[in-house]
Chains A and B, each alone.
Chain A
Amino acid sequence: SQTIHQWPATLVQPVGSPLSLECTVEGTSNPNLYWYRQAAGRGLQLLFYSVGIGQISSEVPQNLSASRPQDRQFILSSKKLLLSDSGFYLCAWSPHTGKNNEKLFFGSGTQLSVL
């Protein structure tokens, strides 16, 4: 079965510091990968998605970037964090093709606090 791992679960970082959040998927190949952000009491905002190694699409211009160095690895980064980057970050995957490729499966999330 497929599993998705996301870490760390909680992160407190000072303003101006760098960020690296990592997500890996097991049990499938060539998944679509996504990074979402969820502000408190708000819906899910899609930040980036990737349909293959090195292929990144950005949905919202911002202080963040994403990379996909391996088929099942997705990284969210920032060179200098802003206060507004605080939030709950979620990694997700979906099958690349096939009957159920609309279904998203989420990781456990990272609560980022920028102070």
Chain B
Amino acid sequence: EDQVTQSPEALRLQEGESSSLNCSYTVSGLRGLFWYRQDPGKGPEFLFTLYSAGEEKEKERLKATLTKKESFLHITAPKPEDSATYLCAVDDRGSTLGRLYFGRGTQLTVWP
């Protein structure tokens, strides 16, 4: 059973059209939830870590939020350069520190 499920699989937005990406997770105990950005042919680029329900973090047009069952990545007024695959991952207290379980990602395309 997948520990991390991301939706939608793909999302197309017009420049300036805000939206949210979802990440639902199942863990024995959450050590941390991560959001990464991945461009084609590249390794994941770290965006945020969230540790506890209610926590929020922002970076430019991105804002990540966390509840006990899911996380959202809100994208405000996106630009074409925000086009990428966004990955969600969790570090489960039942596993080795740093061992991440990834979702399949949401492929975001922002068109002008």
Is B one of A's binding partners? no
